[in-house]
Protein backbone atom coordinates (compact mmCIF):
# COMPACT_ATOMS: atom_id res chain seq x y z
CA UNK A 1 0.00 0.00 0.00
CA UNK A 2 1.59 3.26 -1.13
CA UNK A 3 0.89 6.27 1.00
CA UNK A 4 1.95 9.83 0.39
CA UNK A 5 5.08 10.67 2.35
CA UNK A 6 6.28 14.21 3.10
CA UNK A 7 4.31 15.47 0.10
CA UNK A 8 5.79 12.83 -2.25
CA UNK A 9 3.90 9.90 -3.81
CA UNK A 10 5.53 7.44 -1.37
CA UNK A 11 8.52 6.98 0.92
CA UNK A 12 10.67 5.29 -1.74
CA UNK A 13 10.26 8.22 -4.13
CA UNK A 14 10.94 10.70 -1.34
CA UNK A 15 14.10 8.83 -0.34
CA UNK A 16 15.53 8.98 -3.87
CA UNK A 17 14.61 12.68 -4.08
CA UNK A 18 16.91 13.42 -1.16
CA UNK A 19 19.90 12.59 -3.36
CA UNK A 20 18.78 14.50 -6.46
CA UNK A 21 19.12 18.12 -7.43
CA UNK A 22 18.58 17.77 -11.18
CA UNK A 23 17.06 15.57 -13.86
CA UNK A 24 20.56 14.23 -14.56
CA UNK A 25 20.80 13.16 -10.90
CA UNK A 26 17.50 11.28 -11.17
CA UNK A 27 18.62 9.41 -14.25
CA UNK A 28 22.05 8.65 -12.79
CA UNK A 29 20.49 7.39 -9.54
CA UNK A 30 18.15 5.07 -11.41
CA UNK A 31 20.96 3.70 -13.55
CA UNK A 32 23.27 3.24 -10.57
CA UNK A 33 20.60 1.49 -8.49
CA UNK A 34 19.75 -0.83 -11.40
CA UNK A 35 23.45 -1.76 -11.68
CA UNK A 36 23.62 -2.50 -7.96
CA UNK A 37 20.45 -4.61 -8.15
CA UNK A 38 21.93 -6.77 -10.92
CA UNK A 39 24.87 -7.75 -8.73
CA UNK A 40 22.93 -8.79 -5.63
CA UNK A 41 22.22 -12.34 -4.46
CA UNK A 42 18.72 -13.47 -5.48
CA UNK A 43 16.94 -12.85 -2.17
CA UNK A 44 18.47 -9.38 -1.87
CA UNK A 45 17.70 -8.71 -5.54
CA UNK A 46 14.03 -9.56 -4.93
CA UNK A 47 13.76 -7.29 -1.91
CA UNK A 48 15.68 -4.47 -3.57
CA UNK A 49 13.63 -4.89 -6.75
CA UNK A 50 10.39 -4.47 -4.83
CA UNK A 51 11.62 -1.20 -3.37
CA UNK A 52 12.84 -0.01 -6.77
CA UNK A 53 9.45 -0.78 -8.29
CA UNK A 54 7.82 1.56 -5.77
CA UNK A 55 9.91 4.57 -6.83
CA UNK A 56 7.86 6.84 -9.09
CA UNK A 57 10.65 7.64 -11.54
CA UNK A 58 8.32 9.56 -13.87
CA UNK A 59 7.26 11.82 -11.01
CA UNK A 60 10.89 12.44 -10.04
CA UNK A 61 11.78 13.31 -13.64
CA UNK A 62 8.94 15.83 -13.73
CA UNK A 63 9.97 17.42 -10.43
CA UNK A 64 13.60 17.82 -11.45
CA UNK A 65 13.04 18.66 -15.12
CA UNK A 66 14.50 22.05 -16.04
CA UNK A 67 11.90 24.78 -16.22
CA UNK A 68 11.61 27.02 -19.25
CA UNK A 69 13.47 30.31 -18.66
CA UNK A 70 10.47 32.16 -20.10
CA UNK A 71 8.37 30.86 -17.19
CA UNK A 72 10.67 32.66 -14.77
CA UNK A 73 10.77 35.96 -16.67
CA UNK A 74 8.93 38.98 -15.31
CA UNK A 75 5.95 39.85 -17.53
CA UNK A 76 5.62 43.48 -16.33
Instruction: Give the pLDDT confidence of 14-59 residue by residue, as tens digits.
Output: 999 999 999 999 999 999 999 999 999 999 999 999 999 999 999 9
Kindly indicate the confidence band of residue 67, based on its pLDDT and cuts at 50, 70 and 90.
confident
How far from 44 is each of 6, 10, 23, 50, 54, CA to CA, in Å?
27, 21, 28, 10, 16
Query: What pLDDT, on the 0 to 100 scale, is given for residue 66?
Result: 87
* pTM > 0.85: no
**Exposure of 15 by Cβ count < 10 A (0-12 exposed, 13-18 middle, 19+ buried)?**
middle
Amino acid sequence: MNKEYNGWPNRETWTVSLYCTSLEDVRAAKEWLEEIEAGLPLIAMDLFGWAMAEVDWHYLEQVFAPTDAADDADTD
